[in-house]
Amino acid sequence: MDYWKSSIQRLFITFLSIIVLLLVGRIFFFLDYLPTDFWGKASWFEVMLVFLSATRFDVSTASAVILLPVLGTLLLLPFSKSLRKLWRMITHWYSQICLYTTVLIIIVSHYFFYYYQDHFNSFFWEFWDNWENSKLVIWSIFDELPILKLSISLLVLLVWVNVLHKILQHLAASLSGLFSRKISLIMIPLLLLVGSRGTFDPLPLTMQRYREQVSAIPHLNLIHGNPYYELYSSWGDTIDASDSSKVKKFLKRSTNKIPKWFATVAEMDDSRKFRGVDESTFYLEYQVPALKEKYLKQKPKHIVFIFMESQSAWLSSYKEGGFQQKIRQNLNKIKKQSLSFSHFFQAGGGTLNNIMQINLSIPTNEYSRIEFSSEIYKPFSTTFPRIMERQGYIPLFFYGGSLSWHRLYHILPKLGYHQIFGESSIQNVSKTRFGVHDADLFELVHQKLLQAKQPTFSFVMTLSNHPPYGVPENFVGQVTSSNAPSKLKKRILDEDNFDKRMRALAYADQALGGFFRKAKKSPYFKETLFVLTADHAHPMALKWEPEERYQLRKIPLFFYSPALLKTSNTVNDNFGSHIDIPPTILSLITEKPVMVHSWGRSLLEPPKSKLLLSNEINCFNDVCIASNQVYVLQKDQKLVLCKTTLCIEKSKHLTKIIKAFSNSGSNYLFNYHIVKSE
């Protein structure tokens, strides 16, 4: 075989290898995350159709990867014999790098979904932003992922790459007649160009991925596409949402739409008004109702806001075998004496984003990362701590970890917190590589409350339920994969990870209970309002069905103060998220209506429209949008894919509302001009 033909054949083998590897990765994903009742809803024929449709993405990826080496081979080798040896070596190593990169990206994509229950998203790109944070993530891999299974998966794919090469060599040899120079010079570049595009549709393949769902079965939609396309899509979404220049250009192009966005948001609540004359003065003014007389016996001297790490509401649904007593005994006791909310969700993606959402009460789109925007340093007059300060409270912030994490030491004072306490404020205690144990953090909060001579507002951010799940060595968890409730046991994907999580949850609950036992014996307890919620929900490396997404993403919200609350053990079913927390707390403590700039509302008041805007799920009445799919919310809180034109039409109205909230929030964040007297 001549030199030229062998080079083309080798690249053809690389082309086929990438396609086969991506197919194997898709089969692995399909089987590993297969819902238990899948075959009751799907047929083999439908599965095959989706796999065939997804092959377009694989062919496109493989074509794009080898296009340049093929063009170089076709154009350089016939005219330059001196370059042949060098070019052969370059294409060999290029092919090897591409193949092993494909193996790596398949594994990373697979186990990224294992942790986040989602394909590549902004969290993947956040990893590269901050080396201190990256180190913690790297360490967390060993605590979060099934390392043995991951290693075996990687090893199998690496072996398969080498076996596959030998198999395809024989196939390529049998097709060697197709690699004649005359045919190749014309047909191969043309085929690769068509293959790279992956479609004859006028709409590019990158946009087809999210244009419509290929199946009414969510699991089949998850396997459509491939890791390269998911990575590219998440990168595009992240850049579009977090690149300040792009956001500003978008707002500049949308000058005529901006007032319509604000007007749409204002229409959703009778207490919210659209103010301003242009994009630099537009804002939403929300009149916070005065509900103190209705709910509280007196204004609290202290407010303690506890931001619990990864505390999901779904944990409360498992009661078999004393599970609640072992995992959430103290939290459940608090709930029984609280005003609680049964449809509460995280506003943003991740802990830091939700800190910003609470403190600014500004919504953003799903992929936005406002915590990395310089705009958050503007002196907004109605941040959470400044609202509390105007009510007579000194705003304090407590965190059990390092304040250098995402530059908290720099961000928090800009938001209006007077004093900030991190792990360096807590001495002579044992620590994990991430920070102090929750009990030691709560002890610091307890001491500061005892010493306080003026009213305080304390934002307390816990840590122990975060990887590496560092708890005191002598603490023994009572729940393991062997004695978990039977329905929960069926969901377990990694027993070791499950055991660590259950131990950390039990310890976090014990630390919380210890804090309240001390508090009850202290003079400040009867004068303090405690508010408890979570930074975000977490799938906890369990197997979840797509229709359970609504239940999976809920988080608790409790208002607790036995001495102050006029009503307790009451459940409120209003939709809400983190941005509603400041106006809700303010409505409880104020004696007269207060005007604030806020996209949130008091959850204690009946809503004009039943609207939920959160990180991954948005609902208007019973129609919900999640992961670009339209669902109908059932009475059992399960999501069923929309199959009627009526719910599709309703979803269009919801989409308009979602865009109005996020885009008006972006305009306020980027364009609003703050007058010093505000």
pLDDT of residue 186: 60
Instruction: Name beta bridge partners: 557.
Output: 533
Question: First and final CA of the chain: distance in angstroms?
Answer: 80
Average pLDDT, the chain: 87
| CB-based contacts of 101, cutoff 8 Å, min separation 6 | none
pLDDT of residue 646: 94
pLDDT of residue 128: 65
Q: Looking at residues 370-379, what average pLDDT do you find?
A: 76
Give the pTM.
Answer: 0.76
135 has pLDDT over 80: no
Span 604-618, pLDDT tens digits: 999 999 999 998 899
627 has pLDDT over 90: no
pLDDT of residue 181: 57
Amino acid at residue number 313: A
What does each C-alpha distance from 19 to 26, 91, 234, 237, 636 come to in angstroms? 11, 18, 21, 26, 42
pLDDT of residue 330: 96
Q: Which of 112-116, 122-126, 378-382 has the lowest mean pLDDT?
A: 122-126
Token pair 């964040």: residue = 669
Q: Looking at residues 503-519, what average pLDDT do you find?
A: 97
Nearest residue to 668 (alpha-carbon basis) of 337, 364, 428, 424: 364
Token pair 């403190």: residue = 359
Helix (H) or strand (E) holding 123: helix 122-126
Higher pLDDT, 296 or 202: 296
Instruction: Name beta bridge partners: 345.
Output: 554, 577
pLDDT of residue 99: 93
d(CA 334, CA 561) in angstroms, rounded, equals 9
Cis ω on the peptide bond leading into residue 468 (within 30° of 0)? yes
pLDDT of residue 76: 65
Residue 1: which pLDDT band, with cuts at 50, 70 and 90? very low
Residue 377: which pLDDT band, with cuts at 50, 70 and 90? confident
203 has pLDDT over 60: no
Residue 34: which pLDDT band, with cuts at 50, 70 and 90? confident
246 has pLDDT over 90: no
647 has pLDDT over 70: yes
| CB-based contacts of 562, cutoff 8 Å, min separation 6 | 337, 568
Name the DSSP letter for residue 542: B
52: its two tokens: 């065939």
CA dihedral 635, 637, 640, 646 (to 10 degrees): 60
171 has pLDDT over 80: no
603 has pLDDT over 80: yes
Q: Looking at residues 618-635, what average pLDDT do you find?
A: 93
d(CA 166, CA 330) in angstroms, rounded, equals 61
| CB-based contacts of 306, cutoff 8 Å, min separation 6 | 460, 462, 512, 530, 531, 532, 533
d(CA 239, CA 283) in angstroms, rounded, equals 26
Residue 207: which pLDDT band, with cuts at 50, 70 and 90? low
382 has pLDDT over 80: yes
Calculate the CA 89 to chain-centre distance: 43
Q: Which of 42-46, 539-543, 673-677 has the lowest mean pLDDT?
A: 673-677
Helix (H) or strand (E) holding 509: helix 495-520
649 has pLDDT over 80: yes
Span 317-328, pLDDT tens digits: 998 889 999 999
83: its two tokens: 């370059």
% of the chain at pLDDT higher than 90: 55
Higher pLDDT, 570 or 203: 570
pLDDT of residue 470: 82
Q: Which of 94-98, 185-189, 392-396 has the lowest mean pLDDT?
A: 185-189
d(CA 74, CA 282) in angstroms, rounded, equals 59
145: its two tokens: 């992922």
The 3-state secondary structure of 68-116, one letter per residue: HHHHHHHHHCCCCHHHHHHHHHHHHHHHHHHHHHHHHHHHHHHHHHHHH
Span 346-368, pLDDT tens digits: 998 888 889 999 999 998 776 66
Higher pLDDT, 363 or 517: 517
- Alpha-carbon torsion (35, 40, 42, 48), positive or negative: positive
Span 88-117, pLDDT tens digits: 788 889 989 999 999 999 999 998 888 777
Helix (H) or strand (E) holding 156: helix 147-174
Q: Looking at residues 62-85, what average pLDDT do you find?
A: 75
210 has pLDDT over 50: no
Residue 493: which pLDDT band, with cuts at 50, 70 and 90? confident
pLDDT of residue 642: 93
d(CA 429, CA 152) in angstroms, rounded, equals 39
Residue 129: which pLDDT band, with cuts at 50, 70 and 90? low
Residue 471 near residue 504, CB atoms below 8 Å: yes
Q: Looking at residues 118-132, what average pLDDT do you find?
A: 67
Span 444-481, pLDDT tens digits: 999 999 999 999 999 999 999 987 788 998 999 999 99
Residue 220 near residue 629, CB atoms below 8 Å: no
d(CA 41, CA 215) in angstroms, rounded, equals 11
Q: Looking at residues 279-302, what average pLDDT do you find?
A: 96
Q: Looking at residues 117-141, what average pLDDT do you find?
A: 66
% of the chain at pLDDT higher than 70: 86
The 3-state secondary structure of 263-311, one letter per residue: HHHHHCCCCEEEECCCCCCCEEEEEECCCHHHHECCCCCEEEEEEECCC
What does each C-alpha distance from 407 to 131, 401, 410, 411, 464 come to in angstroms? 12, 12, 5, 6, 20
223 has pLDDT over 60: yes
pLDDT of residue 178: 58
Residue 335 near residue 490, CB atoms below 8 Å: no
426 has pLDDT over 90: yes
Instruction: Name beta bridge partners: 296.
Output: 565
d(CA 584, CA 500) in angstroms, rounded, equals 35
130 has pLDDT over 70: no
Q: Which of 59-63, 201-205, 621-625, 653-657 has the lowest mean pLDDT?
A: 201-205
173 has pLDDT over 80: no
Nearest residue to 623 (alpha-carbon basis) of 662, 654, 644, 658: 654
